[in-house]
């Protein structure tokens, strides 16, 4: 590896959580040494290479999530890495399953324009009415990344599926020791009207929605392309979730706002819950108690 400078990095990968940072770092083909930062840049980075691309990976400060924090991290990144052209906001999110989009835990949702939506729209709990959901905003679309996504979708159709399992194969030794995928039996979707009883360790199985296994479930996650909704509050209401489903929303997340308008970016989410009151971190990953330095978690990318 030749000596690299900040100008050699063109792609920024932003994560919100430490486990997402760990997953991103695991996927590097090669890790690079740290570089001197701009005096006003207080981010911490992981540098490396995936294929032919040099990647800057940044994570939100510990304990800070939300739209403003992600935008701050992105702006700080550009102080040091002035040649950054493309951004990836990668992490976990709440899925929006429907008859049209058979979204399961572990699937991946990639933001992309659909109809009047530009790929990522803002939701607002305060302005919802039973008959209409008010979109507060819509983020700028990154043309070059949209072209790349179009090519990727075409390749998936021609190859009769995605190549996630193939891409993960070289990293299996690291993944097996640090990450694990929960059993498909733990992928449970409940009726929208059934609300989780507070402090109850279990949910009523009579309210489960019975779904057949998909043919490719044992080969890896499915990839969905479409609208992702973002906001400063976590979506935990299945009834409201389903109303957004009618508008084509596939996923909810909490970091994209204020980011894409100033930072050409594609939002990518691994589905870790169903944006309802039953959400837990089983498919997101839970850290082991202090002093134990291994994690058992799953990140569907």
Using one digit for the tens of pLDDT, what is the confidence trace for 5-27? 999 999 999 988 888 888 899 88
Residue 60 counted as domain residue: yes
Residue 298 counted as domain residue: no
pLDDT class for 260, splitting at 50, 70, 90? Answer: low
**Token pair belonging to 191:** 């009726």
The pLDDT score that the predictor gives to residue 164 is 78
pLDDT class for 214, splitting at 50, 70, 90? Answer: confident
Residue 39 counted as domain residue: yes
**Token pair belonging to 16:** 């919100």
The pLDDT score that the predictor gives to residue 120 is 78
Q: Which of 261, 236, 242, 11 is nearest to 121 (CA)?
A: 261
Is 255's pLDDT higher than 50? yes
**C-beta separation of 284 from 270 below 8 A:** no
d(CA 147, CA 5): 28
d(CA 95, CA 241): 9
Residue 293 counted as domain residue: no
Q: What CATH number should be reported for the domain holding residue 92?
A: 3.40.50.1580
Using one digit for the tens of pLDDT, what is the confidence trace for 107-116? 999 987 666 5
Residue 288 counted as domain residue: no
Task: Tally Cβ neighbours within 10 Å of residue 144.
Answer: 10
d(CA 100, CA 54): 37
Cβ partners under 8 Å of residue 86, min gap 6 = 10, 11, 12, 142, 144, 145, 264, 265, 266
d(CA 221, CA 163): 10
Task: Tally Cβ neighbours within 10 Å of residue 277.
Answer: 15
**Residues of the chain with pLDDT > 70: what percent?**
75
Number of domains in the chain: 1
Task: Report the pLDDT averaged over residues 203-212.
Answer: 89
Show the domain range for 48: 6-179+192-273
pLDDT class for 290, splitting at 50, 70, 90? Answer: very low
The pLDDT score that the predictor gives to residue 131 is 45
d(CA 274, CA 278): 8
Residue 259 counted as domain residue: yes
Residue 292 counted as domain residue: no
Residue 280 counted as domain residue: no
Beta strands 249-253; 30-32: pairing state: unpaired
Torsion of CA 185, 191, 193, 194, to 10 degrees: -30
Is 257's pLDDT higher than 90? no
Pick the residue with more confidence: 178 or 162? 162
């Amino acid at each position: 590896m030749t000596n690299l400078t900040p100008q050699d990095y063109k792609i920024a990968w932003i994560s919100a959580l430490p486990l997402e940072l760990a997953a991103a770092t695991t996927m590097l083909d090669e890790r690079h040494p740290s570089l001197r930062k701009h005096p006003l840049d207080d981010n911490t980075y992981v540098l490396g290479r995936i294929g032919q691309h040099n990647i800057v990976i940044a994570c939100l400060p510990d304990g800070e999530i939300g739209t403003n924090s992600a935008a701050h991290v992105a702006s700080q990144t550009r102080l040091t890495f002035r040649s950054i052209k493309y951004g990836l906001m990668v992490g976990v999110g709440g899925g929006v399953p429907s008859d049209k989009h058979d979204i399961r835990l572990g699937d991946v949702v990639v933001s992309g324009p659909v109809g009047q939506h530009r790929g990522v729209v803002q939701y607002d709990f305060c302005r919802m009415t039973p008959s209409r959901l008010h979109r507060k905003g819509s983020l700028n679309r990154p043309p070059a990344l949209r072209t790349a996504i179009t090519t990727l979708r075409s390749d998936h159709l021609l190859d009769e599926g995605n190549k996630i399992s193939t891409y993960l194969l070289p990293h299996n030794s690291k993944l097996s020791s640090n990450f694990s995928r929960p059993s498909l039996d733990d992928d449970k979707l409940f009726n929208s009207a059934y609300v989780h009883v507070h402090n109850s360790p279990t949910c009523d199985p009579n309210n489960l929605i019975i779904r057949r296994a998909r043919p490719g479930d044992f080969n890896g996650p499915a990839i969905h392309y479409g609208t992702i909704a973002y906001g400063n509050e976590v979506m935990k209401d299945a009834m409201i979730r389903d109303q957004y489903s009618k508008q084509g929303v596939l996923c909810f997340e909490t970091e994209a706002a204020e980011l894409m308008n100033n930072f050409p970016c594609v939002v990518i989410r691994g589905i870790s819950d169903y944006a309802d009151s039953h959400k837990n971190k089983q498919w997101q990953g839970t850290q082991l108690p202090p002093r134990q330095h291994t994690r058992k978690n799953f990140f569907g990318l």
